[in-house]
C-alpha cells in the first residue's frame, strides 16, 4: 500500500485569520450553549449528541452572513471550541453522578461547584495534553487508514461552505 502525502486544504505558506476574537467568543458561546444542552439531554435521557456539525454550520452563518468574514480557519476554530464544550459536558455528566451517589451513601462528601469545575478543567486539559502529541500520529500519518466519519463529515461541511454555500439553498429549502 503506497502512502500518499497528506496535504492540508490551506497551504502552510498562506496566512489567514484563525485565532481571532470573533472566533474565540463565538466558539465559547457555542461551547456553553451546546454544553448546557448536552448536559441536560445526557442527564435526562442518558445520551448526548455531537455538536461538531451544528457548530460548523452556525459558525459559517454567523461569521459569513452577520460579521462578513470568510475564513475556513475561523470556522474550524469555532467548530472545534464548540465541540470541545459539548464533549467536556458529556464527560462530566457521565462521571460526576457517581460522586453524588457515593455522597448519598456516606462514602464521601458532596462535591462543591469548585471541585466539579476543577475536575472538569483537569479532564479537559488531560484531553488536550494527550491529543497534541497524538495529532501527528493519528491525524496526519493515519489519514488514509482511519476514517474518522464525524470529523470527515464536519470537514466536508466546512469545505462546502468555503465553496460559496450555493448548495445550502437546497438544504435549507
What pLDDT digit, counting tens, does each position of 41-90 carry? 988 988 888 888 888 888 888 888 788 887 888 888 888 898 888 888 88
Instruction: Answer yes or no: is 84 within a domain.
Output: yes
Instruction: Answer yes or no: is 46 within a domain.
Output: yes
pLDDT band at 158 (very low <50, low <70, confident <90, very high): confident
Say how many C-beta atoms besides its own lie within 10 A of residue 116's C-beta. Answer: 14
Instruction: Answer yes or no: is 76 within a domain.
Output: yes
**Lookup: cell for 15:** 496566512
Q: Write down the pTM of the prediction.
A: 0.75
Average pLDDT, the chain: 81
Instruction: Answer yes or no: is 12 within a domain.
Output: no
Residues 6+ away with beta carbon under 8 Å from 163: none
Q: Which domain holds residue 157?
A: 21-167
Total count of domains within the chain: 1
Instruction: Answer yes or no: is 120 within a domain.
Output: yes
**Lookup: cell for 127:** 484531553
Lowest model confidence (mean pLDDT) among 18-32, 33-47, 99-113, 159-173:
159-173
Amino acid at each position: 500500500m503506497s502512502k500518499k502525502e497528506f496535504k492540508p486544504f490551506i497551504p502552510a505558506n498562506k496566512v489567514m485569520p484563525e485565532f481571532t476574537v470573533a472566533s474565540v467568543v463565538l466558539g465559547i458561546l457555542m461551547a456553553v450553549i451546546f454544553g448546557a444542552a448536552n448536559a441536560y439531554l445526557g442527564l435526562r435521557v442518558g445520551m448526548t449528541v455531537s455538536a461538531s456539525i451544528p457548530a460548523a454550520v452556525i459558525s459559517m452563518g454567523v461569521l459569513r452572513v452577520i460579521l462578513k468574514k470568510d475564513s475556513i480557519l475561523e470556522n474550524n476554530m469555532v467548530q472545534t471550541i464548540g465541540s470541545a464544550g459539548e464533549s467536556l459536558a458529556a464527560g462530566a455528566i457521565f462521571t460526576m453522578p457517581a460522586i453524588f451517589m457515593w455522597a448519598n451513601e456516606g462514602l464521601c462528601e458532596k462535591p462543591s461547584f469548585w471541585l466539579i469545575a476543577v475536575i472538569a478543567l483537569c479532564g479537559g486539559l488531560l484531553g488536550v495534553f494527550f491529543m497534541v502529541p497524538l495529532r501527528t500520529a493519528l491525524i496526519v500519518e493515519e489519514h488514509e487508514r482511519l476514517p474518522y466519519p464525524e470529523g470527515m463529515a464536519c470537514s466536508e461541511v466546512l469545505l462546502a461552505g468555503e465553496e460559496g454555500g450555493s448548495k445550502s439553498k437546497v438544504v435549507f429549502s
